[in-house]
Amino acid sequence: MENTWEYDRKKIESDKIQDILDELNILGTNGWEIIWYEEKKPEKFGGNYECIVLFKKRKHETKEKCCDS
């Protein structure tokens, strides 16, 4: 069996960290693994957290993309 990977990236924004964690957990359930994560905290109270995430998973798991880039 060939051991190839599929990669994708996603930008996630929310004013609640739990919303970001919920989205990451859904992607993980679908076989995506985080290989890089960068988070920018809100500049002011009530602003959005902004995350850029790079994912990978084995190509044979699905042909669907994880993210709308």
pLDDT class of 60 with cuts at 50, 70, 90: confident
Every domain of the chain and the residues it spans: 5-61
The rounded mean pLDDT for the chain is 89
Is pLDDT of 10 > 60? yes
For residue 2, the model assigns a pLDDT of: 66
Residue 28 pLDDT greater than 80, yes or no: yes
Q: pLDDT band for position 57 (50/70/90)?
A: very high
Token reading at 34:
């985080």
Whole-number pLDDT of residue 16: 93
Render the chain in DSSP notation, one character per residue: ----EEEEEEEEEES-HHHHHHHHHHHHHTT-EEEEEEEE--SSTT--EEEEEEEEEEGGG-SS-S---
